[in-house]
A and B are shown apart, each in its own frame.
Chain A
């Protein structure tokens, strides 16, 4: 009897201590695991991390952990304790696209969402002064007449821009060679030098050098994205139906934690991130870089991310199609 009382008291003490620990969360640095190399996108995560840290009262360093199209960061995070001290910077490529391509064994439902962070629209652009074509349709006509001759870049290979561009090209029956680059900037440099025929251009790159590029097609149906590219034609202006809407053809990140993270810990992070993302200074700093701050909270995660996963899954054969067609030409 006495033993049982001691046991019960011990359990109660552990529960109380644990509850106190959660009440005190966070007691130390919370880390954001960022899936790409250092660069502009990392700076954007640092803006949010700084604001989140101010709300939580601890610092939130952003740790660049690149590798395997972002999946290394996810696996690294999932191997850490589910205690809320590790946040996954959940970019769409490792979160949704890599599972669609069979390179990762998780689904977006395997994570606990905190809050949507940012999105980044992109477009297909050519160098200024290009004389071979002046519209996207003319580019496609050229591509159809010269199978396998066009050279383009989506930055790295098998990323979201690659998937979306391959889908567009597939819809037109155009076979072009994708050239992977270590950084997007290198691809833009070679586009301007005439080494590439077209390339993906994100909003930030366009804003930096509007006179350097001609935007032929904005890869988003959202009016805001079209406006960012000064009203260039978008996928809604095409005669073909791509089956892409909302966030599906765009880059975006949703901050997440391990699914076993206790709810009260996740709630502390959610509340802090919601406040951080609502701050005008944060929104302004993010917008300056050409990214769009997102206001969706964790309750809208499935509603927003679900259709993206569905649409990307449905167009999953575009990359395979491109590869097979190029092999046939060789």
Chain B
């Protein structure tokens, strides 16, 4: 059945249009991903009107390739400039940027692209082999399970905030607070909207991320005395050796890709959670000589393999159930419907050639990502040779264009600059910025699913322990919290032991 569908799809895929557009989509995706503000969703929206006039497999190849390229592209600006091009890459800068600072920008980008492609291929394997079964498993996740899973994600803050746990938690709570702004889904009441329509849907996450990271970083850069200097950096061509560098971390790669595909298969979970969780797990599992946060290759492998494996995972409920995993896959479903195909169980039964064609374009997108990405890396790294006096205004201009393009809203620009100021202040006070992103993403997931569970429940909070998967997740969460406290206490007592006793 599986082989038949891929063979049937092979004929539809092996056309110059399908192959050419898949390559074009990957390149376009890399660019929209790397530019702050834009991302895979915006790329798909921009080119959907073009795609719906194409043959089905070529059209889906074009859009899926944008999704794949866009999910990786954000890492390029995260590594080079400490600016995540998309929220998906917010965790990549933990180790990607320090690697670039140590003169390993090419390696970092090479690893990011290789890990993305390999993670994506892993996600593709999951999609092809397990789509119907995984979709069935994902359907066991109802609001109680999502609420418990959101708590798991929040615990990741404790892991990534090592060294400043309290500040990390404060930043996370600030993110959770920001997430409450807008129209309440349940009462339809307005919260903290200050009587302005701009706030009715809260702050746009992309405007917040670009402000916090990009504006604060550019402000930080202007404080140096090297604005006019032309940096002399030898640009090493990464080559396909990056794949070997990545494969050295095969356990991490496999684990993070599994986490990514799992989160992708759960509608609504998404790539940001998967990349932060994978990073937290990789860091927790690291050996004593691995210094995460200081330019460790494994950090880039974890986040980038996870967020691209999420793309494959996201296609599982989208194709097998017709339920979009996130906004980008919702647009893919829309395109497929316009092209005359109904995603869902009947697509697998009645049009296996389309399913096979989509499998092939997805796998090929990841192969193209690897080849095109590695070949283009020197071009990206060239950015580091541009004097800051040119680079900073160009980056600010791109941030402004990208953020304005979200909703054609000047208010979003004000949000971006406002959070730029917040970012500058928080950095000056040594607060980590990433927990804010985790809080904003997980806040609605936790709050809405908690309240939804209680509305569904006939027995109040018992719903969380009556459902086996929810109960298991709660136990895992309790163990993680206990483990975090134990590690923190042990670390503190070790540090106390090391303090020399004065006479």
**Is A40 within 8 A of B452, CB to CB?**
no
Q: Please indicate the chain B residues that have their CB under 8 angstroms from the CB of A290 in the complex.
A: 337
Tell me the count of chain B residues lying within 8 A, CB to CB, of chain A.
52
Q: Please indicate the chain A residues that have their CB under 8 angstroms from the CB of B190 in the complex.
A: 68
* A50-B49, A185-B323 known; A68+B200 contact, CB < 8 A: yes
**Is B201 within 8 A of A66, CB to CB?**
yes
Interface check B422, CB cutoff 8 A:
no
In the assembled complex, the Cα of A266 lies from the Cα of B290 at a distance in Å of 65
Q: How far is the CB of A114 from chain B (nearest CB, A)?
A: 19
CB-nearest residue of chain B to A190: B142
In the assembled complex, the Cα of A179 lies from the Cα of B139 at a distance in Å of 17
**Is A65 within 8 A of B324, CB to CB?**
no
In the assembled complex, the Cα of A183 lies from the Cα of B268 at a distance in Å of 9
Instruction: Indicate with 1 or 0, residue by residue over A171-213, a CB within 8 angstroms of chain B CB atoms.
Output: 0000001011111011011101101100000001101111110
* A49-B49, A179-B455, A192-B139 known; A185+B324 contact, CB < 8 A: yes
Q: How far is the CB of A111 from chain B (nearest CB, A)?
A: 17
**Is B407 within 8 A of A65, CB to CB?**
yes
Interface check A144, CB cutoff 8 A:
no
In the assembled complex, the Cα of A67 lies from the Cα of B268 at a distance in Å of 18
**Interface members, chain B 338-384 (any A CB < 8 Å):** 338-340, 342-346
Interface check B188, CB cutoff 8 A:
yes
- Please pick, from B41, B317, B339, B444, the residue contacting A38 in the complex, using a CB distance under 8 A: B41
- Please pick, from A42, A180, A190, A210, the residue contacting B334 in the complex, using a CB distance under 8 A: A42
**Is B185 within 8 A of A180, CB to CB?**
yes
- A residues with a Cβ closer than 8 A to B are 31, 37-40, 42-44, 46-47, 49-50, 61-69, 71-72, 75-76, 79, 103, 149, 151, 156-158, 177, 179-183, 185-186, 188-190, 192-193, 195-196, 204-205, 207-212, 285, 288-290
Q: A179-B452, A193-B142, A209-B344 are in contact. List 16 more A-B contacts (CB 8 A).
A: A37-B330, A38-B41, A38-B330, A38-B331, A43-B331, A68-B188, A68-B197, A72-B200, A76-B407, A180-B186, A195-B456, A204-B337, A208-B343, A212-B345, A288-B338, A289-B338
- B residues with a Cβ closer than 8 A to A are 41, 45-46, 48-49, 52, 139-140, 142-143, 182-183, 185-186, 188, 190, 197, 200-202, 267-268, 317, 321-324, 327-328, 330-331, 333-335, 337-340, 342-346, 407-409, 444, 448, 452, 455-456, 458
Top 5 nearest A-B pairs (CB, nearest first) are A43-B334, A67-B201, A185-B323, A67-B200, A208-B322
12 residue pairs bridging A and B, Cβ less than 8 Å apart: A39-B334, A44-B338, A46-B45, A68-B183, A69-B188, A179-B452, A180-B452, A185-B323, A190-B142, A209-B322, A209-B342, A288-B339
